[in-house]
Structure formats: structure tokens, C-alpha cells
């Protein structure tokens, strides 16, 4: 589908604009080794005002080091929320 722009292995924080210069209707985010708190503001710059984001939340990157167990696993259900 030509409407889809795939930006695998792209650090959105360093992206000034989409390749076609347009704003996106939808962003789907599966970030690795970084908190969404750092990624979302950058993604919002690339969206239309009524654009939407679907993001995969990974507790081990959102919870903070004090809540992450050995091997990067968050076991406490309260932390997952």
C-alpha cells in the first residue's frame, strides 16, 4: 500500500519530517530500549492534528530501573498498570 511509510530502525527523535514531507494520519510505534515518554513528543510532530498513535507499551522501559527485576522482567502487576 503506497500510503504506508515503514521506518524500521529509525530513531524518531532524529526525524525532522516524513520522507514525503506530509503529516501522518496514524503512527504505530514499537520502540526498543527507550521510554515512550521520549518517543511520543517526536512522533506527535509528524502527525496531523487529528492523527492517532498506536504504541506497544513495554513495562521494563516505562517503569524505571528500581521496578525492573533481573533479566529486564517486570513482575509486579501494579507496575504494569
Alpha helical stretches, state H, the chain: 36-45, 59-62, 77-80
Q: Per-residue pLDDT averaged across 40-49, rounded? A: 95
How far is residue 39's CA from residue 74's CA, in Å, rounded to a whole number?
21
Q: According to the model, what pLDDT value does residue 18 have?
A: 92
pLDDT-derived band at 50, boundaries 50, 70, 90: very high
pLDDT > 90? residue 23: yes
Comparing 63 with 25, the larger pLDDT belongs to: 25
pTM: 0.70
Every domain of the chain and the residues it spans: 12-76
The residue assigned the cell 516524513 is 18
Amino acid at each position: 500500500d503506497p500510503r504506508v511509510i515503514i521506518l524500521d530502525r529509525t530513531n524518531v527523535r532524529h526525524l525532522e519530517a516524513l520522507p514525503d514531507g506530509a503529516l501522518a494520519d496514524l503512527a504505530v510505534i514499537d520502540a526498543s530500549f527507550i521510554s515512550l515518554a521520549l518517543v511520543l513528543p517526536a512522533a506527535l510532530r509528524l502527525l496531523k492534528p487529528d492523527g492517532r498513535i498506536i504504541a506497544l507499551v513495554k513495562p521494563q522501559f516505562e517503569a524505571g530501573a528500581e521496578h525492573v527485576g533481573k533479566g529486564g522482567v517486570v513482575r509486579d502487576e501494579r507496575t504494569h498498570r
